[in-house]
A = this chain, B = another copy of it.
Amino acid sequence: MKLGFIGLGRMGSRMATNLVRAGHDLTVFNRSPGRSASLVILGAREATRLADACSSSAVISMLADDEAANDIVLAPSGIVDHLPTGAIHVSMSTLSVALSRQLALAHEKAGQRYVAAPVFGRPDMAAAAKLFILAAGNSAAIDECEPLFRALGQKTTIGTEPWAANLVKLSGNFLLASVIEALGEAVALIGKSGIDPKLYVEFLTSTLFPVPAYKTYGALIAAGKFEPAAFAAPLGYKDIRLALAAAESLRVPMPLASLLHDRFLRLLAHGGDHLDWAAIGGLASQDAYVLGSRRVAS
């Protein structure tokens, strides 16, 4: 399939690589230059202007946050301005429900088709083409994009309202952050009692919770090792805020989400911007003053 791909960050570059390897004809674009070299070697074309990545019948965007998506999609000379009528924009970024609604409206007005398809998975899963993709929007458009999704991971369709995929994505990140907090408190308790936290996490993840989320975050928390960041704390904080913003507009109180919100604020107040979001799982050990637990700011 011939398509544009916009956003070559930690996730986007790995996703674009898999698309090229699967035989798709990609024109890639990134706002800050110098990210395309390895993709070009594999056969992708580099667009120097956004418009050049928007001339096919489909474009994928994978951007950091609402602000970037606003600039790249909605602002003058953005995707909406350049995409041909009838073409599909697959937005795989983690966006707010409110912005997703706006994008849907803008594309509809412009006669384009919009699919929200945010993903679950850290960069290693993106590289391994094992992302969990959550698609919502026009069903014909989703069907046409099937070969793309297949090259990236496993897709589930969640309906025809694009914002629904964004809400489920945000709720999923809330669930993951809840796992981090719960493990953080459990490891603080276990660690201070004198039991080896690593053995503890191994037990948990070979019995009750034999899944990557618990394995990955359990290991990081047991080791108190939160660098380098695979998913940085400010991004995790952003997603919890977006989940809370959606909950506010629906009038849904979420006390555990509020607890996570406060954990992130504390981490960031202490200079944790460069840490993995799993670092909120280290705060319980700090509060318990478990020996060997890292203090973020010292």
Is A189 in contact with B246, judged by CB distance below 8 angstroms?
yes
| Chain B: CB-nearest residue to A283 | B287
Q: Smallest distance from the beta carbon of A236 to chain B beta carbons, Å?
A: 14
Q: Smallest distance from the beta carbon of A164 to chain B beta carbons, Å?
A: 5
Segment 172-199 of A: residues with Cβ below 8 Å from B: 172, 174-176, 178-179, 181-183, 185-186, 188-190, 192-193, 195, 199
Q: Which of A13-21, A38-46, A62-70, A250-258 contacts B (4 or more CB under 8 A)?
A: A250-258
Q: Which of A1-9, A78-86, A200-208 contacts B (4 or more CB under 8 A)?
A: A200-208
Is B182 in contact with A256, judged by CB distance below 8 angstroms?
yes
Q: Which of A87-95, A103-111, A153-161 contacts B (4 or more CB under 8 A)?
A: A153-161
Residue among A154, A185, A271 with the highest chain B CB neighbour number at 10 A: A185
Asked if A262 is an interface residue, CB under 8 A from chain B, the answer is yes
Copies in the complex: 4
Is B253 in contact with A287, judged by CB distance below 8 angstroms?
yes
Asked if A213 is an interface residue, CB under 8 A from chain B, the answer is yes
Asked if A120 is an interface residue, CB under 8 A from chain B, the answer is yes
Is A210 in contact with B211, judged by CB distance below 8 angstroms?
yes
Residues of B within 8 A of A208 (CB): 120, 132, 172, 175-176, 211, 213
Nearest 3 CB-CB pairs, A to B? A178-B182, A258-B258, A253-B262
Contact surface of A with B, Cβ cutoff 8 Å: 120, 132, 134, 154, 156, 158-159, 164, 167-168, 171-172, 174-176, 178-179, 181-183, 185-186, 188-190, 192-193, 195, 199-200, 203-204, 206-211, 213, 241, 243, 246-248, 250-259, 261-263, 265-266, 268-271, 284, 287-290, 297
